[in-house]
Amino acid sequence: MRLSTSEEQLMNYLWKLGKAFMKDLLQAYPDPKPAPTTVATLLKRMIDKKVVAYKTYGNSREYYPLINKSTYFGHQVKGMIKNFFDNSPSQFASFFTSETDLTDEELRDLKKLIDQQLKNKTS
């Protein structure tokens, strides 16, 4: 599933809120806020993509995410590795560690994370 930048922004608000009515989502935006029709269109597209659903209470709809943030961004990273790094996680890691100006401390922290994952897999 692929969300546009506008849909990702709205999804981030929905992830933070957990569930929300239209007024709650509009309040989450900084000024200048988008028109309610714009947010309604985004929500419709996201419902069609099956990443958002809603419950109806009278004339109001309470929206909630169908996918969690971690799962969504995991799919995005996997897609990026596939599309930009020939499906090679090591090429991605090489690029990430050499092109992002990580500090020595950040590199050590990454090494600790990798070492912990290796330990978990052998346990």
| pLDDT score of 12 more than 80 | yes
How many of the other CB atoms lie within 10 Å of CB of 84? 12
What are the tens digits of pLDDT across the range 85-122?
A: 898 888 888 888 888 888 889 989 988 988 888 888 88
Structural domain boundaries in the chain: 5-65, 85-122
When pLDDT is cut at 50, 70 and 90, the band that residue 52 belongs to is very high
What are the tens digits of pLDDT across the range 71-85?
A: 998 888 888 889 888
Those residues with Cβ within 8 angstroms of residue 81's Cβ, 6 or more apart along the chain or in another chain: 87, 88, 89, 91, 92
Q: Which CATH number, 1.10.10.10, 1.20.1300.10, 3.90.1300.10, 3.40.50.2000, labels domain 5-65? A: 1.10.10.10
Average confidence (pLDDT) over 34-54: 97
